[in-house]
Amino acid sequence: MNNKTDSAKTLDCIGLYCPQPLLQTREGIDSIDIGEILEVLADDPAAEEDIKRFAKRTGHEILLFEKKDGALRFLIRRVK
């Protein structure tokens, strides 16, 4: 486990474009246990809205969202 984020899994979606970051986030959430954290890294501008909407619709919790130099970083806790 990554001590910096305590994430169970990290998805590196840098260089991937819609819909890949969202599809990989869905698969990533399904591959971790309830209560664990998924870290997602992306640089597709559409991923910000897509992943936020996905988390809201599915009830998962975005613990952190960072945007730096065009790179996006999400920490998402699997709720159910």
What type of residue sits at position 5?
A: T
To which residue do tokens 């986030």 refer? 25
Domain 9-77 top-level CATH class? alpha beta
pLDDT tens digits, residue range 25-54? Answer: 999 999 999 999 999 999 999 999 999 999
Q: Which two tokens stand for residue 69?
A: 């130099």
| Cβ atoms of residues 64 and 37 within 8 Å | no
Predicted model pTM: 0.91
Give the separation between CA 9 and CA 39, rounded to whole angstroms. 6
Give the separation between CA 46 and CA 2, rounded to whole angstroms. 26
pLDDT band at 77 (very low <50, low <70, confident <90, very high): very high
Active-site position among 18, 23, 41, 62: 18
Q: Is 13 a catalytic residue?
A: no
**What phi and psi values does residue 27 have, to the nearest 5 degrees?**
-65, -40
